[in-house]
Amino acid sequence: MSAKNLVIVESPAKAKTIEKYLGRNYKVIASLGHVRDLPKSQMGVDIDNDYAPKYISIRGKGDVIKGLKREAKKVDHVYLAADPDREGEAIAWHVSYLLGLDPKDKNRVVFNEITKDAVKNSFKEPRSIDEKLVEAQQARRILDRLVGYSISRSCGKRSRRVCQPDAYSPSR
């Protein structure tokens, strides 16, 4: 008998433990962290369009994404069990997008500890993806990109020594 439910977590080590707790009706696989991000080769933020992020699949994650899609097609229900923080919420949101899931569906489960009781209890009351946490992560990522690119451009115009991370180190 094959599993009826797919659970997607971030870490393969967590996947094995959680799968033991949930039993044979669940298959648990890992996304290995983020699956989409802003492109490295460009700003990736549309400043003229309300700072909209331009996400792409992360290079090297193609096989992981294909695996997630393949496994999702085999089951009746997909649960997103990334970590219970803004990064985990964003990972769940990106996986949801890639799998064509509705982010308003109650398929998000969170637990603060990996114990049998905590994991099993989280499946009793799944929730939808918390858009506010996703927005918080996106805002942070976009700000990191805007500041990072601005500093990089500035550094390119100045001496490399001034822009080295240890240039102002107290040991100098």
Task: Note the pLDDT of residue 154.
Answer: 63
Residue 3 predicted with pLDDT over 70: yes
| Best CA proximity match to 15, nearest among 86, 81, 76 | 81
Average pLDDT over residues 141-163: 72
pTM of the shown model: 0.85
| Best CA proximity match to 9, nearest among 23, 24, 19 | 19
The dotted CATH code for 5-158 is: 3.40.50.140
3-state secondary structure of 85: coil
Distance of CA 21 to the CA centre of its chain: 23
Task: Note the pLDDT of residue 62.
Answer: 97
CA distances from 80 to 26, 54, 154 (A): 12, 23, 40
| Best CA proximity match to 109, nearest among 34, 35, 28 | 28
Residue type, 1: M
